[in-house]
Amino acid sequence: MSNILEVSNLTKTYSSGSKSLTVLSDISFTIQSGDKLSIVGSSGSGKTTLLGLCAGLDRATSGSVILNGISLDKLNEDERAYVRNQHVGFVFQNFQLLPTLTAVENIMVPMELRREKGIRKKALELLDRVGLAERHDHYPTQLSGGEQQRISIARAFSNNPQILFADEPTGNLDEETSEKIEHLLFELNRESGTTLVLVTHDLDLAKKTDRIIKLKGGMVLHPSDQLATENG
């Protein structure tokens, strides 16, 4: 199987005046197509920053990210947007649905950006797949958190992404809803054969993926460090 994501020596530093803060330092890993990977760590460990860099939402200070064979660091913002639209799906902790669009319209947007035809039918099918067919013309404010996240998942899969990035997908949901969302996410992932990169601090959720990368202070903990941390 080929690598869908190659991260090499990735460093991210924020500067403010004369001070600088390194939030990620020399991170390297690869993910093969179809794999499920979790990035875990405590708050401020750099998980979200790493996800942002891997998904092409931000630029690294040094190092490289190659997504599906495309080096993201050489692209400008519009080129990265194009790559995201063609290859990437997103699920966010706070859903990030477009508040002025109905449920079905939200799902249609990535396909519309790809200029696909017959998208309403596909969007309705996806909506049906996540169990919200009857809520197709509801606006996000008229939906519960769990329903919004389901719409968000349907939207993430609407452009048949090769890789899906999920940032704390159950972080804003109660336990029961979280389980349903996890189930839906993994099921759709399996059906479509998409690579999944999951950022979470929920170790139980992380354990459901093939691999776990644990971050601490912006660095990847080595297996021995991981063990030490896990043991105590």
**Interaction site with another protein (CB under 8 A):** 3, 6, 14-16, 48, 51-52, 57-58, 66, 68-71, 75, 77-79, 81-86, 90, 92, 94, 96-101, 105, 109-110, 112-115, 139-141, 155, 159, 167
**Judged by CB, which is closer to another protein: 5, or 213?**
5
User: Whole-number minimum distance, CB 39 to another protein, in Å?
Assistant: 13
User: Whole-number minimum distance, CB 178 to another protein, in Å?
Assistant: 20
Residue 197: strand pairing partners: 37, 165
**Judged by CB, which is closer to another protein: 181, or 199?**
199
Specify the pairing of strand 195-199 against strand 36-41: parallel
User: Whole-number minimum distance, CB 51 to another protein, in Å?
Assistant: 7
Q: Cβ atoms within 10 A of the Cβ of 62, count? A: 13
What phi, psi does 90 have (nearest 5°)? Answer: -130, 140
Question: b/e map of 143-156 (b: 16 or more CB within 10 Å)?
Answer: beebbbbbbbbbbb
Residue 199: strand pairing partners: 39, 167
What are the residue ranges of helices labelled H in 32-163?
47-54, 77-87, 103-113, 119-129, 145-157
**Residue whose entry in the numeric block shows the structure tokens 């389901």:** 150
Contact predicate 80/67, CB 8 Å: no
Contact predicate 30/5, CB 8 Å: yes
**Judged by CB, which is closer to another protein: 170, or 232?**
170
User: Whole-number minimum distance, CB 172 to another protein, in Å?
Assistant: 13
Distance of alpha carbon 71 from its chain centroid, rounded? Answer: 18
**Judged by CB, which is closer to another protein: 135, or 155?**
155
**Judged by CB, which is closer to another protein: 34, or 89?**
89
**Judged by CB, which is closer to another protein: 32, or 224?**
32
Supply the Cα-derived Rg of the chain in whole angstroms. Answer: 18
User: Whole-number minimum distance, CB 9 to another protein, in Å?
Assistant: 15
User: Whole-number minimum distance, CB 117 to another protein, in Å?
Assistant: 12
